A and B are shown apart, each in its own frame.
Chain A
Amino acid sequence: MCTMIVQKVPLEGFGKGAGGWFDMDQANVSWDHPFHAPEEHALNIDFVNESRGPGARVAVELSVESARQLVETIQKVLGEAEGKGLLKEA
């Protein structure tokens, strides 16, 4: 919260946290102090389900370059799957 650069996005999916698999309903994306990454700031993504308490969290702390590559790669993979008619979106 030192930078206050944070956004929450609702999502549907499942994540494996310290207590095993759980249903996630939100991702919190921030540019702020990481807990583990050896940097002052990182692109942090916490996949969470707040109703299950603070421990329902899958955390990643990424460098800028890695975060951008991840976004690009997700789009590429989805595009390829869509191109092959594999996405059955509601």
Chain B
Amino acid sequence: MYTTDQYEGMLAETVAIQGANGDRVLAYCARPLGKGPFPGMVLIHHMPGWDEWYREATRRFAHHGYASISPNLYERTGHGSPDDVAAAVRADGGVPDDQAVADIEAAMKYLRALPNLNGKVGVFGTCSGGRHAVLAASRVAGFDAVVDCWGGGVVMQSDQLTLQRPVAPVDYTADLNCPVLGLFGAEDHSPTVEDVAVHEEALKRHGKDYEFHMYDGAGHGFFYYHRPSYRQSQAVEGWEKIWAFLGDKLAA
């Protein structure tokens, strides 16, 4: 219950973590002030980069009571405007999965080291970040919930596998040890409705706890209010699904 007389405070700042190979990786951390204890959330940015939307989303999670951190998965490409950096990564076919998973694990451990964490950490991502979120939650112990928003490439054909992305995340489903919330648009081209069905079938087959929602009239990126892909009613409902899901799964 949100009340007008409650105390609110937040600390939001750039921090650094030790990611894959011990590399310094910048991260944006936003967390509620107070003794908590607070659940944690790792936010994995989308293909367009570690940008303003992800800083806002990180603060949004903090506003909702989550100690939140968003690591810059594009750190090794150098620094500059988010789109310039992301364009360079796009040209290279993305960052290596192993590196991304290790960076995400480091972000999770950063949260777990906080003195006022409630012991639970989830992971959220959109677009390529949704794929990374599923991948990390499947390959690394320590996540208690995963929110996959239209993650393309969770299901991959053999001709889509590369040195950087050698295994389709769906093939790790047996190893996934936390509940999944998936939000998708029926008009998306990646993932398609068929891709989502394959992912769902794998979750069912392995007896995993999951909740998928497919939104009609929405395509890729329907949360992005700064893009024509924004769909107001679907986005509002999607955020409500997220808060309900995380409120249930990350409670102490």
A residues lining the B interface (CB < 8 Å): 1-4, 6, 8, 18, 28, 30, 32-33, 35-36, 38-41, 44, 46, 48, 50, 53-55, 57, 59
Contact of B90 among A32, A38, A39 (CB under 8 A): A32
A32 and B47 within 8 A (CB): yes
CB atoms of A1 and B79 under 8 A apart? no
Q: Taking A6-B91, A48-B87 as given, write out 13 further A-B residue pairs in contact, using a Cβ cutoff of 8 Å, ordered by the A residue number.
A: A1-B90, A1-B94, A2-B47, A2-B127, A4-B162, A8-B91, A28-B87, A33-B47, A35-B48, A35-B86, A35-B87, A46-B87, A57-B88
Contact check, A54 vs B84: say whether CB atoms are below 8 A apart.
yes
B152: which A residues are within 8 A, CB to CB?
Answer: 2
Question: Which chain B residue shows the least CB distance to A53?
Answer: B78
Q: For the complex, give the distance between the alpha carbons of A39 and B189 in Å.
A: 12
- Contact check, B87 vs A4: say whether CB atoms are below 8 A apart: no
Residue among B87, B89, B153, B228 making CB contact with A57, cutoff 8 Å: B87
Question: What's the nearest-Cβ distance from chain B to residue A38, in Å?
Answer: 4
Hey, which chain A residues are within 8 Å of B81, CB to CB? 18, 54-55
Q: Which residues of A contact B162 (CB under 8 A)?
A: 4
A contact residues around B80 at 8 Å (CB): 53-55
- On chain B, the residues within 8 Å of A41 by CB distance are 189
With a cutoff of 8 Å between Cβ atoms, the chain B residues found around residue A6 in the complex are 90-91, 93
Contacts of B88 in A (CB 8 A): 46, 48, 50, 54, 57
Query: Number of residue pairs across A and B with beta carbons under 8 Å?
Result: 79
Judge if B178 is at the interface, Cβ distance under 8 Å. no
A-contacting residues, B70-112, CB 8 Å = 77-81, 83-91, 93-94
Docked Cα-Cα span, A28 to B89, in Å, equals 11
Q: Which of B127-153 contact A (CB under 8 A)?
A: 127-128, 152-153
B205 within 8 A of A: no
Main secondary structure, interface of B, reads: loop
17 A-B pairs within 8 Å (CB atoms) are namely A1-B94, A2-B190, A3-B190, A4-B94, A8-B91, A30-B90, A32-B90, A35-B48, A40-B188, A40-B219, A46-B91, A48-B91, A53-B78, A54-B81, A54-B88, A55-B80, A55-B81
State whether B128 touches A54 (Cβ < 8 A): no
- Categorize the interface residue count of chain B: 20 to 34
Q: Which residues of B contact A38 (CB under 8 A)?
A: 227-228
Q: Does B220 make an interface contact (CB < 8 A)? A: yes
Q: Are A54 and B90 in contact (CB under 8 A)?
A: no
